[in-house]
Amino acid sequence: MKIGWIGLGNMGIPMAGNLLVAGYEVKVWNRTPSKAEPLLAQGATLAGSLAELAECDIVFTMVSDDEAVKAVYTGPDGLLTSGARGTLAVDMSTVSPQTSRYLAEQCRQAGFRFLDAPVSGSVGPAKEGKLVIMVGGDESDYTQVKPLLDKLGKLALHLGPNGAGTSAKLAINLLLGITVQGAAETLLFARSMGIEAEQMLTIIRESAVGTPLIRGKEASILADNYPAAFALKHMAKDLRLAREEGVSTPLAESAAACYRAALEDGLGDLDVMAILRFLDRQ
């Protein structure tokens, strides 16, 4: 089986790497080709164009946002410009459900099949093959790709037609955004009362509200250093997409405004946990 992989950012590199480790033949493409080097060293081959990947049986896409997926699928030199032979395209990016349904229709017209299959879990779970994968599209296409999804994640769920996967993803990321901001506000409040971050993190870790998410951010918080595992700009994007889907609950509104302001303050390329630095500055 020939696999294509488009998008070699923080997530795409370890995910495509897991397919190589599992023994699949993987051909990769990235807008910035030099980022493919670690995968080429692992045995991947580099595609000369996006259209070339239509020859694969299954093509995964893992790029930034709605604009990026539209560029790689329907752009002038995009994947869909080639003549397909039933290729299954699996978009794992976090985009709007509307974009997933649009891409599904564009794929259908171009002779491709399409699944939206975004993931929950950051770079650590991506490296360990322990992502949670939420899938929308035809069940038969899901069944075909499931053995590969099992190399990428600890759970893959088929949720309904195209757009169901991205809808579930926006919902889980609403909780992510609220949780990270909640942790940041808690630490700042504690500090204002004389409780240091290290002490408060220990309390959170041992309490019922401690989560692997916050535990994973402890080192960053203590060092006040936020290299992106999940970039803040992506969190701001996901909360914006949730609002565009009509989510306007009190915490969703507040978190969307806060991450947007942090983005405008220049923190977008740092990790989502840098919301702490932003709130501290306020």
Q: How far is the CB of 34 from ligand NAP (least distance, A)?
A: 9
CA 91 – CA 69 distance, rounded (Å): 8
Assess contact for 187 and 276: CB atoms under 8 A: yes
> Choosing from 169, 217, 233, 237, which is the catalytic residue?
169
Q: How far is the CB of 191 from ligand NAP (least distance, A)?
A: 27
75/111 with CB nearer ligand NAP: 75
Stretch that binds ligand NAP, among 105-113, 119-127, 132-140, 219-227 (CB under 6 A): 119-127
Stretch that binds ligand NAP, among 25-33, 39-47, 145-153, 187-195 (CB under 6 A): 25-33
Q: How far is the CB of 203 from ligand NAP (least distance, A)?
A: 26
- Residue 12 engages ligand NAP in binding (rule: CB under 6 A): yes
Residue type, 7: G
- Residues 219-238, interacting with ligand NAP (CB under 6 A): 229-231, 234
> x-or-dash pattern for ligand NAP, window 170-199, by CB under 6 A?
------------------------------
Q: How far is the CB of 60 from ligand NAP (least distance, A)?
A: 11
**Cβ count near 131 (within 10 Å):** 27
- Residue 8 engages ligand NAP in binding (rule: CB under 6 A): yes
Judge whether 233 counts as a catalytic residue: no
Distances (CA, A) of 130 to 30, 126, 167, 175, 180: 24, 6, 20, 19, 20
35/260 with CB nearer ligand NAP: 35
Assess contact for 257 and 242: CB atoms under 8 A: no
Stretch that binds ligand NAP, among 9-17, 149-157, 178-186, 190-198 (CB under 6 A): 9-17
* CA 278 remoteness from chain centre: 23
Interface with ligand NAP (CB under 6 A), residue total: 27
- Residues 27-56, interacting with ligand NAP (CB under 6 A): 30-32, 35
Stretch that binds ligand NAP, among 96-104, 115-123, 210-218, 251-259 (CB under 6 A): 115-123
Find the binder of ligand NAP among 3, 28, 44, 63 (CB under 6 A): 63
- Residue 149 engages ligand NAP in binding (rule: CB under 6 A): no
Angle at 276 between CA 270 and CA 281, to 5 degrees: 100
Residue in 18, 25, 24, 77 with CA at minimum distance from that of residue 52: 77
Q: Provide the annotated active-site residues.
A: 169
Q: Which residues bind ligand NAP (CB under 6 A)?
A: 7-12, 30-32, 35, 62-65, 67-68, 71-72, 93-94, 119, 122-123, 229-231, 234
